Amino acid sequence: MVTLDQKRFARNYITCIERGDFAAAKSLLFLWVQAFFASLPAAPSRRQLTNPDLWGSLAQYAAISGDHTPVDDFWNRLDTITPQTRTPDAIPLLGIPILNRPDLLVRLLDSLDQPVETLAIVDNSIGADLSDSEALSRLLAQLERQPPAGIGKVRVARPFANQGVAASWNAILTSFPEAPFALLVNNDVAFSPGVLAEVIARIDPARPQFLPLLPAPQEFSAFAITPAVWNRVGLFDANFHPAYCEDLDYAERLRGCEAIEWIAPEPLQSQQQQANPTTSATIASDPRLAACNRTTYLLNCLWLHSRRRLENPHQGTWMRRWLSQWDLEPVHP
């Protein structure tokens, strides 16, 4: 780690711009970026990574010169950073998209045998003509008022309409980027005793790790994911709506990135599978949902086999979201 003379770099950059010497300004920016990253500790905090003077100078240079290479150099270097994190002794974030069947949510919560710091639920029943919508709304309101034992806080997102599985997962991940890892679970899943403790023990928040709790083809019914994963391959593709094929797309992207550690402990998955012999209870419980799904599933299949799907940008999504959080600290005179 080297010492960074921030003020000297900023003064010299301004001098180059005022003289109209873009070549010198560009060389200085490359040196400034190099010195900045060399000055960082092995696992920097968000505050240590935040550098408004450097960011502003890079953006200004690109805007007035049309040359984006220093900016690209910055983003490429940022991709290599492993930021500061913590090793939790609980499930830091449990995320659940839900459309119907409040009884299954109760069963899921009753199966928790490890503490949960934040339970995040996306209520996709808003606006849907479902028989149990009112019961679900009452349950979610009760959970918010009085979180169950072992759960620190309950947060419920209520979108205008059914956002679908992929968009719901994205909402959970991007709303809590500070979480060391997230455990995303379908509403119809229950946890076998001891499984959650093993997840906590196996996941290293500092590494790009993906841990499905069920074997294929149910790997995305319940899975743990670290921020370093979606920073590398991006968020889920919300074009898969409202459900199905988003898992195939993401699995393809995970396997296409050599840095991703796909952890698949067979004993854990077997134990969890025995506790969840049935799947797709949300759709199976309502013939109208099943009828709708027969159409949208085919549309999702078309998107899965589309070249256009592969053109979406993904890399660096988590880092940008993590760095751009607003910390509303008191302003001191």
Per-residue model confidence (pLDDT) at position 128: 66
Whether 333 maps to a domain, the answer reads no
Residue whose C-alpha is closest to residue 18's, from 76, 82, 61: 61
The two three-digit tokens of residue 155, written as one number: 């947060």
Residue whose C-alpha is closest to residue 210's, from 280, 265, 272: 265
- Same-domain pairing of 203 and 59: no
- Same-domain pairing of 36 and 163: no
Per-residue model confidence (pLDDT) at position 281: 65
- Same-domain pairing of 66 and 95: no
The two three-digit tokens of residue 17, written as one number: 């711009």
- Same-domain pairing of 124 and 181: yes
* End-to-end Cα spacing for the chain: 33
- Same-domain pairing of 53 and 127: no
- Same-domain pairing of 191 and 309: yes
- Same-domain pairing of 158 and 300: yes
Starting at the edge strand found earlier in the chain, the sheet holding 182-185 runs: 151-157, 116-123, 91-98, 182-185, 222-225, 209-212, 261-262
* % of the chain residues with pLDDT over 90: 74
Measured in degrees and rounded to the nearest 5, phi and psi for residue 92 equal: -70, -35
Say whether 248 sits in a helix, a strand or coil. Answer: helix
CA distance 8 to 16: 12
Of the residues 29, 57, 78, the one at which a domain ends: 78
- Same-domain pairing of 74 and 100: no
- Same-domain pairing of 211 and 72: no
- Same-domain pairing of 60 and 190: no
Confidence of residue 2 (pLDDT cuts 50, 70, 90): low
Q: Which CATH number characterizes residue 310's domain?
A: 3.90.550.10
**297 residue type, one letter:** Y
Count structural domains, the chain: 2
Whether 315 maps to a domain, the answer reads yes
Residue whose C-alpha is closest to residue 317's, from 173, 117, 160, 121: 173
Are 284 and 226 in contact by the 8 Å Cβ rule? The answer is no
Query: What is the separation of C-alpha 102 from the centre of its chain, rounded to a whole number of angstroms?
Result: 25
* pLDDT average, residue stretch 1-30: 92
Query: What is the separation of C-alpha 139 from the centre of its chain, rounded to a whole number of angstroms?
Result: 26
Instruction: Determine how many CB atoms are found less than 10 A away from the CB of residue 256.
Output: 9
pTM of the predicted model as reported, rounded to 2 decimal places: 0.89
**318 residue type, one letter:** W
- Same-domain pairing of 203 and 249: yes
What residues make up the domain containing 140?
91-319
Whether 154 maps to a domain, the answer reads yes
- Same-domain pairing of 44 and 146: no
CA distance 9 to 156: 46
Per-residue model confidence (pLDDT) at position 320: 67
pLDDT, one tens digit per residue, over 230-284 is: 999 999 998 888 889 999 999 999 999 999 999 999 999 999 999 998 877 677 7
Bigger pLDDT: 243 or 328?
243
Among 36-40, 172-176, 266-270, 318-322, the minimum mean pLDDT is found in 318-322
Of the residues 78, 101, 134, the one at which a domain ends: 78
Whether 328 maps to a domain, the answer reads no
> Of the ranges 10-14, 235-239, 314-318, which is most confident?
10-14
Return the residue matching tokens 């979480």: 179
* % of the chain residues with pLDDT over 70: 92
Are 153 and 118 in contact by the 8 Å Cβ rule? The answer is yes
Whether 45 maps to a domain, the answer reads yes
pLDDT, one tens digit per residue, over 107-147 is: 999 999 999 999 999 999 986 667 788 899 999 999 999 99
